[in-house]
Amino acid sequence: MFNLGGGPGVRVHQFGGNRPRRRPQAGGAQEQPQTATSALTSLLPLLLLVILPLLSSLFSSDSSASAKTPPFSVDVPTLSKTQQHISSNLRVPYYVKPADVADYTNARAWKDLDRVVEHYLVGRLRQDCDSEVQIRERMYDDAHGWFFVDHEKLEAARRMEMRSCERLQSLGVPYR
């Protein structure tokens, strides 16, 4: 097979002595049919890999705060979310459905909801601010060409409004 130069070629050595190998007989011993239990035991590892995650997802309980948090709208009321509340830390107005917060009688429940709303708002504003920064950097890169600087594009990049970054700054949250 690898004998290109006319030499002795590749030699294969068989370990295990000089015993001759037996070939299967065509009409001799036939394979016995598989029983249901032997088929099940051979498929058991595969079944465990599929069934266990399904069972654990069915019987697991979601105890996260987001599962108990009522839906809210930040800054602007909607048709169903009309009850205004102002968050305790960042002083951000948000609106909830009155029926969802009817059982919020203690300050602890409102503080927990305030924390969720503020976390949501800051996360959204940081994402939007990152997008604005990337757009501005792309505009700066486009303004600086190979041979000259396009001053109009450069000025447009400088004047670009960065609403989310400004909102984060007005809330006193660092955005970079």
pLDDT (0 to 100) of residue 123: 92
- Residue 13 binned pLDDT confidence (cut-offs 50, 70, 90): low
pLDDT, residue 131, reads 94
Whether 67 has a pLDDT exceeding 50, the answer reads no
Tens of pLDDT, residues 136-159:
999 999 998 888 888 999 999 999
Q: Quote the radius of gyration of the chain (alpha carbons, Å).
A: 35
Mean pLDDT, residues 24-49 taken together: 71
pLDDT of residue 24: 65
**What is the Cβ-side half-sphere exposure of residue 151, based on CA atoms within 13 angstroms?**
0
pLDDT for 8: 60
The reported pLDDT for the residue numbered 31 is 59
DSSP category for residue 173: -
For the chain, which residues make up each domain, given as ranges?
65-171
Residue appearing with tokens 């949501």: 120
pLDDT recorded at residue 132? 94
CB 108, CB 153: distance < 8 Å:
no
What per-residue confidence (pLDDT) applies to 125? 94
Measure the CA–CA gap between 119 and 68, rounded to whole angstroms: 15
| Average pLDDT estimate for 89-107 | 89
Segment 58-76 mean pLDDT: 66
Q: Shortest CA distance to 113 belongs to which of 131, 133, 135, 95? A: 95
pLDDT tier, 39 (very low <50, low <70, confident <90, very high otherwise):
confident
Specify the pLDDT at position 66: 45
Judge contact between 168 and 125, C-beta under 8 A.
Answer: yes
Rounded Cα gap, residues 21 and 111, in angstroms: 80
- Coil, helix or strand at residue 84: strand
Please name the amino acid found at residue 145: G
Q: Which segments of the chain are extended strands (E)?
A: 72-74, 83-86, 93-96
Other CB atoms within 10 Å distance of the CB of residue 74: 16
Q: What is the mean pLDDT of residues 130-136?
A: 94
Closest CA to 77 of 95, 60, 89: 95
Please give the pLDDT value at position 158. 93
Q: Which residue has the tokens 């909102």?
A: 167
Spatial strand order in the sheet of 72-74: 72-74, 93-96, 83-86
From CA 140, how far away is CA 153, in angstroms rounded?
Answer: 7
| Residue-wise pLDDT tens digits, 156-167 | 999 999 999 999
